[in-house]
Amino acid sequence: QLQASGGGLVQPGGSLRLSCAVSGFNLGSYTIGWFRQAPGKEREGVACMRSSGSTTRYVDSVRGRFTISRDNAKNTVYLQMNSLRPEDTAVYYCAATPRGLIWSSLFEIRYYSSWGRGTLVTVSS
């Protein structure tokens, strides 16, 4: 199971850190990802990381502002979000897959077998 937390209301330019606590399997060998879905839009990949931690992928709109990380000892995934913008408002989901995805497939939702319930991030003044 995956349990995301850390969402909330923040002003533009502010920061939030999302956490995703994993139980039931060892996160260390999994590809992990954060996805988001804004009202009226399709779910999209935001940031993903392969199990080795050496390969990450960010959607262009968040590169340089968001950072994905993992603590395998705590079986937890994080998404540090800085310089938040109103367009970052969405429900954020964490996901994991045991598949070793190539870089171009990291945002393919269909490859992720485990999903957490979302956490709402609202960026507004």
Concatenated DSSP letters for 29-82?
Answer: GSEEEEEEE-TTS--EEEEEE-TTSS-EEE-TTTBTTEEEEEETTTTEEEEEE-
Q: Taking a C-beta distance cutoff of 8 angstroms, is the pair 20, 4 a contact?
A: yes
Positions in the chain whose pLDDT score sits under 70: none
Q: What is the pLDDT of residue 95?
A: 97
Nearest in space to 123 (alpha carbons), one of 71, 77, 76, 66: 66
Q: What is the pLDDT of residue 53?
A: 81
Q: What is the pLDDT of residue 54?
A: 81
pLDDT tens for 7-41 read 999 999 999 999 999 999 998 899 999 999 999 99
Q: Taking a C-beta distance cutoff of 8 angstroms, is the pair 96, 33 a contact?
A: yes
Q: What is the pLDDT of residue 112?
A: 96
Q: What is the pLDDT of residue 115?
A: 96
The SS3 of residue 7 is: coil
Give the single-character DSSP code of 116: P
